[in-house]
Structure 1
Amino acid sequence: MDDADEVFELQRPRLTALAYRMLGSRQDAEDLVQDAYFRWARAVDVANPEAWLTKVVSNLCLNELGSARVRREAYTGPWLPEPVFTDDDPVELRDTVSYALLTLMERLTSAERAVFVLKEAFGYSHQEIAGFLDLTDANARQLHSRARRRLGDRARFTPSAEEQQRLVERFLEAALEGNMAGLTSFFAADVTAWADGGGRVRAALRPITGREKVLRYLRGILRRLEGAEFVFTGLNGEFALAALRDGELFTVTVVEFGAEGITGLWTVMNPEKLRLLGRRLSHS
């Protein structure tokens, strides 16, 4: 490995994390970062590799977000991000990769999303962001302010990892026993369940909100999980439950907690979004 390749490989994890937060797709993020590598290999006399690569990846993401938005508007049912492991992420970065935030960021324009991610997740100054995105400093500040306003209050109640595992284990036990009354106690009043089948797997076409409706929805899901093997894991900064059949991953549910109990269930069943995670899960 020559010096240029070594410099890039040191930057690759950060660039992939940046691209994933912009796009919500690990596969697309990795492909885009590889595109950035090809550009890096042709570059000469780069004084600041981190800044140069951040600018390239940010602008590649902006280009991709435009076409991604068109695809998501035609998507069958709710679009959810591709689930990813975050155990290796610094703790301070995990909140910026939660399902709740990534789906909220779909409300933002491409420029708002780029500025928000660069500022909130990676701590770049407005002046640096302006340089990356070819904006004025005032434009960068305005876009950041607008993004924060559109996303609203993001304060979260987060139990410890041990408490999350204990709660999810108890939740799964009640679910497998068919103890619907017991399940009720785990849910906040405004709990919402999302399911992403992408038109490839049968799934709810709209978010389901409220304890009773979510419980009825779970009854149907549980019938499909009969005979599955369950694995507890950390995904997107949250505790998650992966279901496998014959060693193949076929569904992942990320659980979000609030002060009153479980507030969100994010279930990904689209096999395209589980392919990469399934390979990594089988090797872990």
Structure 2
Amino acid sequence: MAASVREREVQIVSQERKRRTRSRTISSLPPIVISKMSAHEYDLDPACISLVCPSCRTWVPIRVADTERATAKLVPHHTERAGTEDPVRCPGSHRLVTINVSVATWSRRLEQGVAETNGRRADRVVRKPQVRPAPAVMQLVGGLVDDRTDRRMNEAHTKNCTTCSATKPSCPDGRRLAHLAARTQRTALLRRQKQTEREEREDKRAQALRLLHDQQWEAVGGRVHATDQQRVRDVLAALRQMLQAPTKPGTEPLTAWELADLKTTIAVLERQEKDLTHRW
């Protein structure tokens, strides 16, 4: 009797047991399909197989059975950080996971994503341009003022400045104004000469344009004058015919005001015709 009990214990201990998940609880949520997730949201490395829980968006290990991969599911986890008092269980705990992607396919998708990301990043570092210091006000107006304006600016500065005198500038603005006055005085003759040359060029250009306009007008002036005369004559003939034509039956005759207006228009056109004839 003792021998049979000992043999049964040896058989029980040495017998290989079927491994299964620790808990038979299954979440009521639909299973998570790995192929529908992005490659960076799950990890199929056998050493640390896990994924991002859709409920709490945290990385959660996947418990996988050796014999039935369909029984893979998320381990129980909480929504709070580790060490929090009275933690709340995530509703995604014990949720089934359908692993329908091989490790090789997952690695290839991950490498392709990394290559695309590296291609979108700029390799060259674009340096920001160095901002140069803004020039002083005296430097800005250096090429924009004449000798008279510069002399007035120097006198106004000497009058209002407590350190500068008429003969010896002391402050930076006074020294700049004195330098500007000396430079303006040296270049005044050259500037006036350039201004005179520029005005002469503009006068010659305007005179050449007037000559060109006169030549072009001489070429077409006769035809334009003849056209103006013919237009005035045609309008005069039409108005005179309207004035001399008898009134048609069924139409109202012109009133005194309309008749006077028509005669005034005819007189103006006759004067224009006379002017055009004597002008040419």
TM-score when normalising by structure 2: 0.18
Higher relative contact order by CA 8 Å / sep ≥ 6: 1 or 2? Answer: 1
Of Structure 1 and Structure 2, the greater strand share is in: 1
**Between Structure 1 and Structure 2, whose CA radius of gyration is higher?**
2
